[in-house]
Structure 1
C-alpha cells in the first residue's frame, strides 16, 4: 500500500505544492516519514528542496513565512544540503537586515533584530555567530564606546541598556557570543573605574577577544568556597575568573560608581555588593547584617 498508493499520492501532492501560497507542507508529509524507506524520503525531499529554492531567492527577511516552511525540515534534510540551502538563501538576507539595523539607545526599534533572532535555532550556529559578530556586535560595541566616552555618561542607564540586550540573546550558551558580550562589560568596567576605554576594533580590543578565546578553559567553573577562592582557572586573572563565573550564572559583575571599601572598588554581583582583593585573592561580600 505504501509503494502503490501512499507514495504516488504524496509525490503528486508535492509536485503540485506551491510554496508561494505559504502552505506548510510538513504538516501532511512528516507523519508518513517513519513509514517510508530512505529512497522514498530522499525523493520527496529532493522535490521539496527544489520547490523551496525556486522561491527563496525572492524572499526578504521581514517575511516570517520562510521560517515556518523551512524550519521543520532542518532534521529531515541531509545536514550538508541543509547548510547549503541556508547559506545560499537565508544568511545573505539576514546579514542585509542587520546591516540596515540601527542601534539607538534613545529610540530603539528592534524589527530587523527580531527578524534575525527568529532564525537563531534554525541556522547552523557557527554561521549565526559569524553574522552577529560582523553585522551586529561591531555596531553595538561602537555605540557603547561612544556612549561611555560622552561627557558624564549615566552608568545606570548604560547598565540597564546592557542588561536589556543581554536578555534578548538566545545564544548566550555560545562561548563566542559570551565573549562579545563580555567585551561590552569590560568597556563599562574601564569607564566606571576611571580608566581609558579601549576602542572596539583596536589591536588591544581584538587581542582581548583572541587571548580570552585561547585561554578559556573547557569547564568555566570555579571551585565552591566561603569567601576565599581556591585555585583560579588556568591563565585567567582573579577578576577574570570572577567575571567568567558571573557570566556562567547569568549575573553581572559591574562597578558601583563612586563606591569603595578599604580603597577597593565595590562591584555589583547580582544583588550582592562585593570587593575583589587580587593579592590574597579574596572576595568580600556585603551580606545582610554585616560583611
Structure 2
C-alpha cells in the first residue's frame, strides 16, 4: 500500500482508549500534497497490531517509512500512472561529455607543453650544428652559431617564461641557423616524409617550430601536395605549422570544399540519426573560422533540412515530449562551443525546440479528450 505524503503525528492517533469512537482528526494538524484522514478506530487497530511510530508496515516492519514524494511533471503524457518514467531515448546523437578541466589548468598545460618543445628545439639544433662540425665545417658562422646555442641553452634551466630562449639567441645566429642549417635539411626531409607514418612531423618539422615559427614558404607546395587528400589526423597539425596565410589558402582549397560536400549530401533521419556526416563536419570545424562553417551550413540549407525533418517526424510519428526534446538537444551537443556562440546557429536550434512545444501541446490536448 502506498503511503501518501503527509506529516501526521501518530502519537495523536495511538491513544490508550479502546472505545472505538470514530472521531475525525483536525485537518490543520496534517500537511502534504494530499489530505488523508484516518479515524481513531484505524489508529487503535494499528496499535493492537503492535505498530510502532517510525517503523514500516508489515510483520517484520518491512514497509516503507519515508512517504512517496509527489513529482510535478510538466506536460507529460496524460493519464500516466504512479511510477511512470520516461525511458532513456537513444537518438544516435549521444556525445560522451569530456571530463571537466579548469580553464586555468588547461592554460598551464599548454604553456608547459610549449616549454618542453622549446627545450627539444634547442637540443635538435645543437645536434645539427655538432654534426656539421664533425663533418668538417669549421666556418666562423657555424662556430659562432654553436656558441650562441650553447649560451642560450642556459636560459632553459630554472624558472623562465615562454619565448625567453629564442629572445636570448642573437638575431644573426638565428638567421644563419634557419637559412644555412635548418632549411637545407628540411628540403631533403620533406621529400622523404610520409604523412601516414609521421602525421605530427615529429621527425623533421615540429621540433623546430619554436625557432622558425612556421613552415618556410619554399616548402609549402611540396607539403600541400602530400596532405591535401589526408584525413583529420594528417591535416590538423598543420593549423599550427603553417602560417596564417598558408593555412587560409590550404583550407579554402581543400577543407571547405570537402565539408560543403558532406553537408550537401547529409541525410537527417529522426528518430535516430544514422548518417555520421555531421560529426565529421564538427570534427573539422575548430580548424576553421566560425563564419566559414556557418556560411556552408546556410548555403547548403542544412537548417532548412533539419527543421523539415523535425516537423515531418512530429506530425507523422507523434513522438513523446522526452523523445522530441532529446533529439533536439542531442543535435545541440554536436555543435562546437564556438558555433553555439553564433547567433544564427543558436536561433535555428531554438526554433527547433519551439516547434516541439506546440506539437506536444496539441498531442496533450488530444489525450485529455480521451
Report runs of 4+ in structure 1 exceeding 4 Å deviation.
none
Q: Would you say how many aligned residue pairs link Structure 1 and Structure 2? A: 185
Q: Does 2:224 match 1:53?
A: yes
1:94/1:116 contact within 8 Å kept: yes
**Contact preservation (8 Å) 2:268, 2:309:** yes
Any conservation in 2 of the 1:18–1:51 contact (CA below 8 Å)?
no
**C-alpha distance in 2 between matches for 1:34 and 1:56:** 22
> Higher relative CO (CA 8 A, sep ≥ 6), structure 1 or 2?
2
Whole-Å separation in 1 of the counterparts to 2:225 and 2:186: 20
1:94 maps to 259
1:119-169 deviation line (CA, Å, top 9, x unaligned): 021122111122233443221111012123337443321111112112222
Q: Which residue of 2 aligns with 1:276?
A: none
Which residue in 2 is equivalent to 1:169?
335
The equivalent of 1:159 in structure 2 is: 325
Alignment partner of 2:234 out of 69, 90, 103: 69
Q: What is the root-mean-square deviation in Å for CA atoms of aligned residues?
A: 2.8
**Equivalents in 1 of 2:295, 2:305: separation in Å?**
14
2:268–2:305: 8 Å Cα contact kept in structure 1?
yes
Give CA deviations for 1:13-49 in whole Å, capped at 9, x if unaligned: 0233244x4532532312212223x6xx552x541x3
Provide closer, same or farther for how the CA distance between residues 4 and 77 of structure 1 changes in structure 2, counting only shifts above 3 A: closer
Partner of 2:155: none
Specify the alignment match of 2:199 in structure 1.
24
Greater share of strand: 1
Taking the aligned partners of 2:272 and 2:354, their CA distance within structure 1 comes to: 24
Query: Secondary structure at 1:149's aligned position in 2?
Result: helix
Q: Give 5+ residue unaligned stretches, structure 2.
A: 1-128, 130-176, 366-370
Is this contact kept in 2: 1:98–1:113, CA < 8 A? yes
The answer to whether structure 1 residue 13 and structure 2 residue 13 are counterparts is no
Match of 1:139 among 305, 310, 329: 305
Q: Structure 1: how far apart are the matches of 2:232 and 2:218?
A: 19
Report if aligned partners of 1:133, 1:180 keep a CA contact under 8 Å in 2.
Answer: no
What is the aligned partner in structure 2 of residue 250 from structure 1?
A: none
**Who wins on radius of gyration, i.e. which is larger?**
2
Shift of 1:101: 2.0
Whether the 8 Å CA contact 1:83–1:124 is kept in 2: the answer is no
Q: What pairs up with 1:139-218 in 2 under 5 angstroms?
A: 139-150=305-316, 152-170=318-336, 171-194=339-362
Give how far 1:192 is off: 3.6
Using structure 1 for the length normalisation, give the TM-score: 0.55
Structure 1: segments with no counterpart, 5+ residues: 60-64, 195-255, 259-291
Aligned partner of residue 105 in structure 1, secondary structure: coil
Pair 1:69–1:151, CA change in 2 (3 A): closer
Secondary structure of the equivalent of 2:268? coil
